Amino acid sequence: MCYVTVAKVEDIPPGKSQLIQVEGLPLLLVNDRGQFYALQGLCGHQKLPLAKATVWQGLLDCPWHHFQYDIRTGENVYPRCVYPLATLPHLDQQLEPLRTYPVRIVEQHVQVKIQFFELL
Ligand code: FES
């Protein structure tokens, strides 16, 4: 497991996200009010890229069908909190949380902690 430099802080302004690839691994970098987060770069719904996802008060909104995720935990917020799974059982597998990755800032660079096997 190691930290990999993936971007400059100035590349991702507050309220923005950026989809990147690290050795083929899609990651979404998010700057929420100056705090950086890294999540898996594909939405849990249909595994489409989260490029151009919007960020608002701790929530990430997928641009495709507007599933929403807590950027701190990756947990699905919408539609999980709106539709009971008992009424829409086919949604269960699409509501998996997004994987999250530790982030640190070193000398104005964003670094993400990635396990080596994820890059193989
Ligand atoms: S692919 Fe993200 S909501 Fe459908």
Q: For residue 65, give the ligand 1 atom closest to its CA.
A: 3
Mutate to test the pocket of ligand 1, among 48, 54, 91, 93 (most ligand atoms within 8 A of CB): 48
Over the stretch 15-73, which tens digit does the pLDDT of each residue have?
A: 999 999 998 999 999 999 999 999 999 999 999 999 999 998 899 999 999 999 999 99
Mutate to test the pocket of ligand 1, among 40, 62, 68, 91 (most ligand atoms within 8 A of CB): 62
Q: Where are the domains of the chain?
A: 2-119
Over the stretch 58-116, which tens digit does the pLDDT of each residue have?
A: 999 999 999 999 999 999 998 777 666 666 667 777 888 999 999 999 999 999 999 86
Q: For residue 48, give the ligand 1 atom closest to its CA.
A: 1
Please give the torsion angle defined by the CA atoms of residues 55, 7, 114 and 52, in that order, rounded to the nearest 10 degrees. Answer: 30
46 lines ligand 1 (CB under 6 A): yes
* Predicted structure pTM score: 0.89
2-119 adopts what CATH topology? Rieske Iron-sulfur Protein (2.102.10)
Cβ neighbours of residue 46 closer than 8 Å, sequence gap 6 or more:
64, 65, 94
Cα(27) to ligand 1 centroid in Å equals 16
